[in-house]
Amino acid sequence: MTRGSGGTEQWRFETGDWVKSSPTVVDGTVYVGSYDDCVYALSASDGTEQWRVETGDSVRSSPAVADGTVYVGSQDGYVYALSASDGTEQWRFETGGQVVSSPTVADGTVYVGSQDGNVYALDVTDGAERWRFEASHDVTASPAVVDGTVYVGSQDMVGDPANSLVDFYALDAADGHQRWSHGTRFTSPGSATVADDTVLVATDSGILYGLAVGDGAVRWPVRATDSAEPTVVRGQSIPAVADDTVFVAAGSELHALSLSALGTDRSALRWRYEADLTISSSATVAGDAVFVGSSDGRVYGLDAADGTERWRFRTDDMVYSAPTVVDGTLYVGSTDGRVYALGAGVLGSSRDTRVRQRILGHHDR
């Protein structure tokens, strides 16, 4: 695939409602959820439906696929385990609240949050509960599991978001005991990613935190915007790190920051790109480009080195779904109810920390 094919539509698939779920692509199949209550398996090559499974409510959660099983949450309060080949239900686990958190699978365990305020660790084979951790608030974020530690945030979903109390936790992956926590006000931790022994958390108020993996000590906060208004979509925007660069959304801007310069007296900003409206998805990096979705309905392909726009593709509604690139094809959902496959204009697959850590959509390349 060449750069010239960037942004060219290869296929589209129509679901029955919004697609905020981020696609996971494994063994030539795209797995994604929809607000029509269904989980879909689509052919990555042409978008043909292979199977669908109906849950009891909307599916905003992004599927995780491991060893032939699809794990996904539903707003009906259940976590589902489905056969990747035909969608047969293997087990389901009931939580006490909506599950918009995307499961993360590591070492035979499914880690997922619920709006009942708990983080759950479930056995991959039968869904048996290994442990649960009671957080201070709803857990809509998707856990990052790195080197035996689960990193996840909770947020107060009631009242004014600008005055909410929020907490971010590091939990032992084996038994769920709390290793450390970081609390703050006026912000809402989303999901995190880990790079260079630092946990990176983007917040609604446009602040990017760097927390030490060992004890949660604050290494740096960086305000990506001067606006007092919330700028990051709650629980959805995850920093993406590749080649010593952190790509993070703030309002209508995508910022590229030098990871090694953060917390020093050197300028960390490499570049910023402004979309027409709020950037509403997490970014992904593939080849020498970065890709992100916006509430203006577009998917943008930018040069990762300097932020130059290479292409843009317009859907018919907002793009909350985080793109996943596999072998030069970009897969993404839109609230127009469709899943799109687009030429990315680069060779290769997503290689940033978000995708490699399998936090919100992933692939098997």
- 78 pLDDT higher than 50: yes
Helix (H, G, I), strand (E, B) or coil at 300: strand
Residue 203 pLDDT grade (very low, low, confident, very high; cuts 50, 70, 90):
confident
The Cα–Cα gap between 132 and 175 comes to 9
- Which superfamily does CATH assign the domain made up of 3-356 to? YVTN repeat-like/Quinoprotein amine dehydrogenase (2.130.10.10)
Q: Pairing between strand 240-242 and 245-250? A: antiparallel
Concatenated DSSP letters for 261-280? TTTSSS--EEEEEE-SS-B-
Q: What is the DSSP letter of 276?
A: S
> Region 335-356: what's the mean pLDDT?
98
What does the CA dihedral 49, 236, 77, 125 come to, rounded to 10 degrees? 70
What CA–CA distance (Å, rounded) separates 345 from 194?
28
Q: Where in the chain are the domains?
A: 3-356
Work out the angle at residue 179's Cα, subtended by the Cα atoms of residues 173 and 180, and round it to the nearest 5 degrees: 130
What is the average pLDDT across 340-359? Answer: 97
pLDDT tens string 6-16? 999 999 999 99
- The whole-angstrom separation of Cα 58 and Cα 209 is 31
The pLDDT of residue 328 is above 50: yes
Q: What is the mean pLDDT of the chain?
A: 92
Q: Which pLDDT does position 26 carry in this prediction? A: 98
Question: How far is it, in rounded angstroms, from Cα 196 to Cα 81?
Answer: 33
Query: What is the reported pLDDT for 205?
Result: 67
pLDDT tier at 232, thresholds 50, 70, 90: very low
**pLDDT value of residue 265:** 85
Span 86-99, average pLDDT? 99
Q: State the CB neighbour count (10 A cutoff) for residue 96.
A: 10
